[in-house]
Amino acid sequence: MAHAIVIHEQGGPEVMRFEEIAVGAAGPGEVRLRQTVVGLNYIDVYQRSGGYKLDLPASIGMEAAGVVEAVGEGVETVKVGDRVGYVMGTPGAYAEERIYPAERLIPLPDDISDEQAAGSMLKGLTVSYLVRRTFPVQAGQTVLLHAAAGGVGTIACQWLKKIGATVIGTVGSDEKAEIARAHGCDHPIVYTRDDFQARVMEITGGEGVPVVYDGVGAAVYEGSLGSLARFGTMVHFGAASGPAPAVEPKLLAGKALYFTRPGLAPHTATRELTLDIANALFDKIREGVKIEINQTYALKDAAEAHRALEARETTGSTILTV
């Protein structure tokens, strides 16, 4: 019998229970997966806590790596025994086995391990679309990136450096500043102590930056808008500190700013869109971008992993082993 983390109510980490589940057979267009490694992401916290509403009982989680165990009728893109990863779709990655749509699977190249895949599908594909599609960063530009020592943050710092950008990154402690610096962040700012907007203006000679990548939300909202240069783009892609306020159009007028709230769901809505950002990520890993797996927990201990993530104790990626 397979097991999964199941929630019967939304709330604190304690609502997650490791239970036996009935997986069932793969239907048309589906595969049955034996998962090896699950990736932990901040979206899992929103799913568990009620930030995103789920039909209960439910399993949570949005990325994993594993092996195809069985294929349903009409599946042509993968076969039994293939190593695959996936991101998004219906929540339910916190499981030993699951049914999943074949169309959404990402075949894993031999040189990408299951750990690397589960540690980077969601975070790395996010960076892939953020810096290539949402605001295509050019060599020589200076960008502001919040939570630069985190999962998305450490991958983004490295990727932005490879493009040739100068990276200003905010972090919650001096230790995290060192981690961000080690991954290519040119100017780490401890925003829990220093005024990051003032520092950005100092570093950019009063100009501001053309883009802010913000996965932190409420706590940095005003300072982020204030850090932008004329015609700059605010990329608000997450809310680890709580939801940002509603956008007041007048606030954008003074510098003719752009505001966008992108998500991975539309960026993985088709196989073509998904494989484009996945292949770009695999190429960057081959060019030297490291997926830093700094925390590993057993799947059954997912509650501990959530506590650490919410307490800002994690850096880089966190995986749950099956």
Ligand X SMILES: NC(=O)c1ccc[n+]([C@@H]2O[C@H](COP(=O)([O-])OP(=O)(O)OC[C@H]3O[C@@H](n4cnc5c(N)ncnc54)[C@H](OP(=O)(O)O)[C@@H]3O)[C@@H](O)[C@H]2O)c1
State which of residues 189, 240, 285, 291 lies at the interface with ligand X (CB under 6 A): 240
239 binds ligand X (CB under 6 A): yes
Q: Judged by CB under 6 A, how many residues of this single chain contact ligand X?
A: 30
Name the minimum Å distance from CB 29 to ligand X. Answer: 25
147 binds ligand X (CB under 6 A): yes
150 binds ligand X (CB under 6 A): yes
Q: For residues 94-133, which are near ligand X according to CB under 6 A?
A: 122-123, 126
312 binds ligand X (CB under 6 A): yes
157 binds ligand X (CB under 6 A): no
DSSP state of 179: H
Question: Which long-range contacts link 309-316 to residues 24+ away (Cβ below 8 Å)?
Answer: 309/40, 309/42, 309/45, 310/13, 310/45, 312/172, 314/150, 314/151, 315/149, 315/150, 315/154, 315/176, 315/179, 316/119, 316/149, 316/150, 316/151, 316/154, 316/179, 316/291, 316/292
Instruction: Give me the helices (H) in the chain, please.
Output: 42-49, 114-129, 151-163, 174-182, 196-203, 221-227, 249-253, 264-267, 271-286, 302-310
151 binds ligand X (CB under 6 A): yes
Separation of alpha carbons 32 and 6, rounded Å: 18
Separation of alpha carbons 261 and 215, rounded Å: 10
Task: Quote helix, strand, coil % in the chain, to nearest 5.
Answer: 35, 30, 40
Name the minimum Å distance from CB 281 to ligand X. Answer: 13
State which of residues 32, 48, 98, 176 lies at the interface with ligand X (CB under 6 A): 176
263 binds ligand X (CB under 6 A): yes
Separation of alpha carbons 290 and 158, rounded Å: 8
Name the minimum Å distance from CB 266 to ligand X. Answer: 9
85 binds ligand X (CB under 6 A): no
- Residue 85, classed as helix, strand or coil, is strand
State which of residues 145, 152, 203, 229 lies at the interface with ligand X (CB under 6 A): 152
Choose between 23 and 191: whose C-beta lies nearer to ligand X. 191
Joined together, the tokens standing for residue 282 give 């695999």
Choose between 255 and 312: whose C-beta lies nearer to ligand X. 312
Separation of alpha carbons 117 and 17, rounded Å: 25
State which of residues 21, 65, 216, 302 lies at the interface with ligand X (CB under 6 A): 216
Name the minimum Å distance from CB 40 to ligand X. Answer: 7
Q: Nearest CA to 23 among 92, 109, 116, 113?
A: 92
Separation of alpha carbons 311 and 322, rounded Å: 24
- Residue 252, classed as helix, strand or coil, is helix
Q: Which amino acid type is present at position 290?
A: K
Choose between 293 and 299: whose C-beta lies nearer to ligand X. 293
Choose between 77 and 173: whose C-beta lies nearer to ligand X. 173
**Part in contact with ligand X (CB under 6 A); list of ranges 14-22, 78-86, 171-179, 226-234:** 171-179
State which of residues 19, 186, 304, 310 lies at the interface with ligand X (CB under 6 A): 310
**Part in contact with ligand X (CB under 6 A); list of ranges 91-99, 197-205, 233-241, 292-300:** 233-241
State which of residues 43, 143, 167, 203 lies at the interface with ligand X (CB under 6 A): 43
Choose between 14 and 174: whose C-beta lies nearer to ligand X. 174
Residues that bind ligand X (CB under 6 A): 41-43, 122-123, 126, 147, 149-153, 171-172, 176, 215-216, 219, 237-241, 262-264, 309-310, 312, 314
